[in-house]
Amino acid sequence: MQVVTEPSEPGEFRRWVEHFRVPALSVGTYRIVAGGTDDQRPHGEDEIYVVQAGRARLVAGDASVAVGPGSVVYVPAGEVHRFVDVSEELEVLVVFAPAESG
């Protein structure tokens, strides 16, 4: 077993924190402030988003879905997607498979 975490300092806001990486997958936390903009680009890896806190909509292609705590969404590699209408600070656990390349 390997446990790797990098907690933020009190009051510190970090948009992306990677927690774990092996060749087959990587895991991190992605945050967007309320009213913020998600400027991510499509990734070369499959992604699973697990919403830990906050509310927004995830738009992918012509589809749009409301997300909140407990939502789990799969986004295949290469698909254009982004969070919009972030009404509460969004905190999302992100799993990339294989590990994110950059």
Q: Is residue 66 part of a domain?
A: yes
CA–CA distance, 26 with 20 (Å, rounded to integer): 5
Residue 3 in domain: no
On average, the pLDDT of the chain sits at 90
Please give the tally of structural domains in the chain: 1
The answer as to whether 65 is a domain residue is: yes
- Expressed as residue numbers, the domain containing 52 is 16-97
Q: What is the mean pLDDT of residues 24-37?
A: 95
Q: Assign 22 a pLDDT band (cuts: 50, 70, 90).
A: very high
Does residue 68 or residue 9 have the better pLDDT?
A: 68
pLDDT of residue 6: 55
In a domain, 102, yes or no: no
How far separated are the first and last CA of the chain, in Å rounded?
25
Residue 61, domain CATH: 2.60.120.10
Question: Against a cut of 0.95, is the pTM above it?
Answer: no
| In a domain? residue 39 | yes
- Least confident range of 11-15, 48-52, 88-92: 11-15
